[in-house]
Amino acid sequence: MKRRAYTLIETLITVSIVGSVTSGIVISLDRTALKARERAALADITAVRKAMELMYLDTGLVPLTPTDLASATPPVQGRIRNQMGQGWPEAPLDPTKWRGPYIARVGPDPIFKQPYAYNSFNQGKHAIYINSTEIGSNGTAYNKW
């Protein structure tokens, strides 16, 4: 007697193999997409930090908010950087020293779609950061980048 169709067992095995391979591909693509968003976020943070340093070199002040860096017109005030961690006192900004905008835009971070955090108690390079304690793919918490 000749067999003309697949048995139920053969069909179930085939479907489970195809499902396993498909789920493996989806997981791999998801990890790749996360790593790409992380690289974009790190590039953004680095650019904002460099723009902040450029503003400081020109004006002697750092911005009140990161979005001040993208403004074509100078802000009225900035923060005194050498007193970071002490509530960042504000000071008037001399508009003749303004060479901005220092960056094209300051958008939300590509990982969580939230604005970048700006904290006076995180001195130096960590004043601009991603506001999340989740661990990135490099093993470091996002707020420590």
Q: What is the pLDDT of residues 78-117, one digit of tens each?
A: 888 765 555 678 889 999 999 989 999 988 989 999 988 8
- Say if 78 falls within a structural domain: yes
- Say if 19 falls within a structural domain: no
- Say if 11 falls within a structural domain: no
| Helices and strands in the chain, H and E counts | 1, 4
How high is the pLDDT of residue 122? 57
Distance CA 36, CA 59 (A): 35
- Say if 31 falls within a structural domain: no
How high is the pLDDT of residue 116? 86
pTM of the full structure:
0.73
Number of neighbouring beta carbons within 10 Å of residue 81: 18
How high is the pLDDT of residue 92? 92
- Nearest Cα to Cα of residue 110 among 24, 43, 59, 64: 43
- Say if 98 falls within a structural domain: yes
Structurally, the chain folds into a number of domains equal to: 1
- Say if 46 falls within a structural domain: yes
How high is the pLDDT of residue 140? 86
Range of the domain at 101: 38-144
Look at residue 79 and give its three-state secondary structure. strand
Tokens of 144: 């420590």
Encode the chain (145 residues) as per-residue pLDDT tens digits. 666 777 888 888 888 888 888 887 877 777 888 889 999 998 998 898 899 889 989 998 888 888 899 999 999 998 887 655 556 788 899 999 999 899 999 889 899 999 888 875 555 556 788 888 888 888 888 888 7
